[in-house]
Amino acid sequence: SNAQRNDELGLLFRVTGALSLGYFLIQSTHHELQLSAGVSQNREWATVDDLSEDSVEAPIRMQYKVFRYDSPKTDVTVRGGYMPNLTKRSRYRFDADITGRQEIVKDLFWEISAYGTYDNEAEGDKQFDYGITTGLGWKY
């Protein structure tokens, strides 16, 4: 299950419950590639009341991870998903994100993440949203 809000896409609140199956195409000491597919039930409250709705989607997701646990530690994860709507056949959504973490000195990490989301039926210029965050983290 998942809950999210996105003012840029005109989404006041979305609650999702999903059931999916996944398979690791690659699983080694430094790489993982996983594909999954399933079905999800969504309840969305739009910033415009008459656009609130329930729907069923068939999400197809991919996740790729590269990691090294020897010092300096490194972890990069790329995720993406395509969500065709089964209730309203003309609607679909995409989302993708990448997160990276690199150890600078023992237990001090530089982190960066970026995301993008797309909803083909969001209002006007609010179909696409993206962002980047970065920071330092200390693990003790």
Whole-number pLDDT of residue 49: 62
Strands 92-105 and 108-119: antiparallel
Task: Check whether 8 has a pLDDT greater than 80.
Answer: no
pLDDT tens digit string along 103-138?
A: 999 889 999 999 999 989 877 777 888 999 999 999
Whole-number pLDDT of residue 12: 79
Residues 68-94, mean pLDDT to the nearest whole number: 93
Residues 54-73, mean pLDDT to the nearest whole number: 93
Whole-number pLDDT of residue 51: 67
Whole-number pLDDT of residue 13: 76
Give the residue from 138, 88, 82 showing the smallest Cα distance to 110: 138
16 in Cβ contact with 2 (< 8 Å): yes
Residues 69-74, mean pLDDT to the nearest whole number: 89
Give the residue from 52, 46, 119 showing the smallest Cα distance to 81: 119
How much is the CA Rg of the chain, to the nearest whole Å? 18
Residues 72-80, mean pLDDT to the nearest whole number: 96
pLDDT tens digit string along 42-52?
A: 888 777 666 67
Whole-number pLDDT of residue 76: 97
pLDDT, mean over the chain:
89
